[in-house]
Amino acid sequence: MNRNFKNKIKDKFTLSNILFTMVLIIVIVMQAPVWLNNFQNIGMNLNDIKIRSLSKSEQLIPLDANKVIVFWFSNCAPCKLEMKRLKASVDDKKINKDNLIFINIFESKTKIKKFLKRNPYPFTFGSSPSLVKRLGITATPTMVFLENGDIRYMSSGMSLIGIFLAELFL
């Protein structure tokens, strides 16, 4: 092999390693506050929080059993993927649909209802600005695992094992 060719490959490999490392550092620095926030919220009790259903009756959603709350946004591709995966778990009877609560943190009720009309999901959709504020939710999707109102686990972003954990938890 030509020595010049070997040096070019070596230089490109080194450059790609440097770029990969820089991207990894940026992701970690940007995600660190979200991870820390999620960790700090574990153990918090949410029984005093009110979550209103987006249905016509706008009834309160009780947090008296194991629940998974998913914070989402209609333009969030990872949120849509998580919704499809959770729907598949509901369809396969691995998860009870009544144990899933979806809260959209950025959009109006009108926009949410339009999205749900085009994308009918069997989940409970709710609203709770006080919960979003209390938990410091800034990233979607964020999954909060509740046991009788106590936060047992929180994760933000796409998760390879999130659905598996939800199925085990619920």
What is the structure's pLDDT at 12?
Answer: 63
Do 114 and 125 form a contact (C-beta atoms < 8 A)? Answer: no
> Which residue(s) pair with 70 in the sheet?
102, 143
Q: Give the closest residue to 104 by CA, choosing from 133, 68, 140.
A: 140
**pLDDT bucket at 75, cuts 50 / 70 / 90:** very high
**pLDDT bucket at 157, cuts 50 / 70 / 90:** confident
Q: Give the closest residue to 132 by CA, choosing from 58, 66, 73, 77.
A: 73
What is the structure's pLDDT at 117?
Answer: 93
* 28 pLDDT above the threshold of 70: yes
Mean pLDDT across the chain, nearest whole number?
87
**pLDDT bucket at 25, cuts 50 / 70 / 90:** confident
Question: What backbone torsions phi and psi does residue 73 show, to the nearest 5 degrees?
Answer: -150, 135
pLDDT > 90 fraction of the chain, expressed in percent and rounded: 56
What is the structure's pLDDT at 154?
Answer: 94
Kindly report, residue by residue over 81-113, the tens digit of the pLDDT: 999 999 999 999 999 999 999 999 889 989 999
- Say how many C-beta atoms besides its own lie within 10 A of residue 129's C-beta: 11
